Amino acid sequence: MTSPMQANTANTSPVIATEGLRKHFGTVEVLKGIDFSARDGEVISILGASGSGKSTFLRCLNLLEMPSAGRLHIFGEEVGLRAGKDRLRIANRRQVDRLRTQVAMVFQNFCLWSHMTVLENLMEAPVHVQGRSRAEIREEAEAMLARVGLTARRDAYPAQLSGGQQQRAAIARALVMKPRVLLFDEPTSALDPELVGEVLKVMRDLADEGRTMLIVTHEMAFARDVSSRILFLDQGQIGAEGTPQQLFGGGHNPRFDQFVSRFNQG
């Protein structure tokens, strides 16, 4: 439960905001100045052709990728960045580490820690980063595993799970930290087709709970049905932005229509 006070500030200041975010790799400019903001409770799908900069953008939001220029605000707090040789640098690691505990990320390749069991994966960050008590977190971790349907596999190692199970475990790992925002980078792209559904179902439930989510995906139907907003990235810029109804209705933006029609052709 959020207090009225928090709910109030959440409504006024964005959860995540960028101003003029740029990123280049060598001479290639991948993000060409992105102004973006996400508010509490929004579910934003980030769509775009391959190479349009979706992953790079998402990874800039928790500074796994360092932007070349621009500003980043998280929970209304400006993230300290200082100039470096060819990109910005983290000014204050502690600030970034603190913010990262509240901005969880789910990766395309799951990236569960392979030397730990599923349960240990869930407990790792809450215990060692957030310093919460083992007993308390163990209960929450078990509840979270029950929720994603992995209670029976809690003592298995990641290598012993299917892709879908690994991704559900990775989502549970993100959730036990009680993050205020969830970032997903193509969470179903590495999965066999028959395993995609089980992961999308978990994500749909999260969206229905009112969680704030930013999702890079190629699952058009999911984006249309679940998102409150679509962000279409086109060659490193925001090509179109709006509700699914506005964008998927057609005629709003020719580049987006082209993208969707090419997508539907396969």
Partner 1 sequence: MTPGTFELLGFGPQGWGFLLLKAAGTTIAAAICGFFLGSLFGLLGAALKLSSLLAPRMIGQFYTTIFRGVPEILIVYLLFFGGSVAVTQVMNLGGFPGFYSLPVFVIGVIAIGLVSGAYQTEAYRSAFLRLNRGQIEAGAACGMPRHLLLRRIIAPQTLRFALPALGNIWQSVLKETSLLSVIGLTELLRQAGTAAGSTRQPLLFYGIAAILFLIIGRMTGAALGGLERHLAKPWSR
Ligand X SMILES: Nc1ncnc2c1ncn2[C@@H]1O[C@H](COP(=O)(O)OP(=O)(O)OP(=O)(O)O)[C@@H](O)[C@H]1O
Q: Which two tokens stand for residue 10?
A: 């959440």
Tell me which of partner 1, Mg ion, ligand X, none is bound by residue 30, counting a contact when its beta carbon lies within the kind-specific cut-off of 5 to 8 angstroms: ligand X
3-state secondary structure 9-54: HHHHCCCEEEEEEEEEECCEEEEEEEEEEECCCCEEEEEECCCCCH
Of residues 5 through 64, those in contact with partner 1 by CB under 8 A are: 62, 64
Say how far apart CA 196 and CA 76 lie, in whole Å.
35
By beta-carbon proximity to Mg ion, the closer residue of 40 and 234 is 234
Q: Interacting stretch for Mg ion, rule CB under 5 A, among 53-61, 124-132, 141-149, 233-241?
A: 53-61
48 binds ligand X (CB under 6 A): yes
Angle between helices 193-208 and 163-175 (to 10 degrees): 20
The contact pattern for partner 1, residues 93-122, with x = CB under 8 A and - = no contact, is xx-xxxxxx-xxx-x-x-xxxxxxx-----
The contact pattern for partner 1, residues 193-232, with x = CB under 8 A and - = no contact, is ----------------------------------------
Find, among 230, 226, 223, 225, the residue nearest to 247 by Cα: 230
55 binds Mg ion (CB under 5 A): yes
By beta-carbon proximity to ligand X, the closer residue of 51 and 197 is 51
Q: What is the side-by-side order of every strand in the sheet holding 229-234?
A: 103-106, 181-185, 212-216, 43-48, 229-234, 237-242
262 binds ligand X (CB under 6 A): no
Min. distance of Cβ 8 from partner 1 in angstroms? Answer: 26
Query: What is the CB-side half-sphere exposure of residue 209 using CA atoms within 13 A?
Result: 14
Of residues 124 through 153, those in contact with partner 1 by CB under 8 A are: 124-125, 128-129
By beta-carbon proximity to ligand X, the closer residue of 86 and 209 is 86
